[in-house]
Structures are given as C-alpha cells and as structure tokens.
Amino acid sequence: MTRRGEGTSAAAERVRIREIVVVEGWHDKQAVDRALEADVWVLGGDRVARRTLAELRRASQHRGVILLTDPDGPGERIRRRVAEAVPGCKHAHLPRSKALGRGRVGVEHADPAAIRDAVLAARPERAGALPEPVFHLVDLADAGLAQHPRAALRRRRVGEMLGIGYANARSFLKKLNALGVTRAEWDAALAALASEEDGHGDPRGRGEAR
C-alpha cells in the first residue's frame, strides 16, 4: 500500500492512499472520506454492473484496488464477486464490533480510526494456487476454531486480530491461505486469544461450533 502523506490538522489523521477504495454504498463513502484522502468508488449494493467491474479491472492494473465491504453475509458475497472479477485486489476488513450502529452493521457506522486501521492493514490475495497450503482444518480444530462449542466466537476474534474478517470454518481456512497469513501471525493471534480468555473470561458471550 502506498501512503503519500499525513494531514496535520485536527481533521487529523487522514492519510492519503494511492489505491482506489471500493465500498458498497454512499454512506460508506462518506465514512471513508472522513478517515482517508482517497478516491472512493461506490458499488451501489448487491448488483454490481459489468461496466463497473471492467473499470475496476483497469484501475487495479494502474493504481490498485482495496475492497472494504460491510462485515456481514451480504458484504462478504459482494467482496467475493468483485475479487473473482478483479484479480489483484487487496482486502480490508473492519471488525464487526467496530461497525455497529442503530442496530445495524456497516462501514458507515465505523469511526475514522477503525477505517484507517482496516485500510492500512489491507492484505493482497495470493494469485494462483499454492503448491502446499500453510494451514489445514486440523489447525483450526487444534486451536478450538472448529469442532468446539465456542468455535464461531473464537474465529470471529482471531479474524479481527488478523484483519481477515469472519467466516465459517472452511471459508476461514481459505482466507488464512489466500491472504497470506503467516505461522508467526497465527501463533501471536492464538496467544492473544488465550490471554484474553484466561485474563478476562469471554466478554462477547458464547459462540456456536460450525
């Protein structure tokens, strides 16, 4: 990611981003504009026009594209659709806990700091199939992120720490490998999760094994 500079006023920590940031709706764009100096493109919801995808493919080759969709089911479907049509996208994920407002979930509800953190931590998707995946389903099971009563909750928390978002066990495994998560990052996230659970219990309630 290219960071071209920082503002010094109280509108404060807006940073310039070379890549185009892609969001779902106009309210999401307004939220990103408060956080960053960037060109922000709006998809307009679930039905993404072919023309828009063609424009994004061209933009991806020249400047780069960062996908920032809502941390919910529809947002993940839109993300997958665009990523399949626009190779080379980077993926920015907002933690669900930082995108809540008025009983709803969305980028528009996140504060500028959360949006900046998500965009600056965006991960590129690895092109092509890896000869050998780094992670396997047994890794999730051993860590209590699959086949465990609180697996869903733990995946959500580890996904927030790694900046890859939430998913069911098999989709989470695909994200770990596709977005280039390293063993060191994995071990650090699991250690942080264990520290949270040992030190404070679990403030987010119980999850479901999936």
HSE of 130 in the Cβ direction (CA atoms, 13 Å)?
15
Is the pTM here over 0.85, yes or no? no
DSSP state of 108: G
Contacts 24+ apart (CB under 8 A), 12-16: 13/112, 13/113, 13/116, 14/112, 15/116, 15/120
Q: Is 7 helix (H, G, I), strand (E, B) or coil?
A: coil
Q: Looking at residue 189, what is its pLDDT?
A: 97
Nearest CA among 97, 103, 45, 106 for reference residue 70? 106
Give me the CATH topology for the region 3-124: Dna Topoisomerase Vi A Subunit; Chain: A, domain 2 (3.40.1360)
Separation between Cα atoms, residue 52 and residue 210, nearest integer Å:
35
The helix (H) or strand (E) run that includes residue 185 is helix 183-200
Could you state, in order of their start, the residue ranges of all structural domains in the chain? 3-124, 137-200
Residue ranges in the chain whose pLDDT is less than 50: 2-11, 201-210
- In tens, the pLDDT along 159-175 reads 999 999 999 999 999 99
Q: Looking at residue 69, what is its pLDDT?
A: 96
What is the signed CA dihedral for 158, 163, 167, 172, rounded to 10 degrees?
A: -80
What is the signed CA dihedral for 137, 126, 188, 160, rounded to 10 degrees?
A: -90
Q: Looking at residue 148, what is its pLDDT?
A: 94
Separation between Cα atoms, residue 196 and residue 45, nearest integer Å:
36
Q: Is 62 helix (H, G, I), strand (E, B) or coil?
A: helix
Q: Looking at residue 127, what is its pLDDT?
A: 67
Judge contact between 145 and 189, C-beta under 8 A. Answer: no
Q: Looking at residue 107, what is its pLDDT?
A: 97
Q: Looking at residue 207, what is its pLDDT?
A: 42
Q: What residue spans of 86-168 are helical by DSSP H? A: 112-120, 137-142, 151-162
The Cβ of residue 122 has, within 10 Å, a number of other Cβ atoms equal to 22
Q: Looking at residue 14, what is its pLDDT?
A: 80
* Radius of gyration of the chain from its Cα atoms, rounded to whole angstroms: 17
- Which residue reads 């998913």 in tokens? 167
Q: Looking at residue 8, what is its pLDDT?
A: 40
Q: Which amino acid is at 55?
A: E
Separation between Cα atoms, residue 44 and residue 41, nearest integer Å:
9
Q: Looking at residue 131, what is its pLDDT?
A: 54
Q: Looking at residue 13, what is its pLDDT?
A: 72
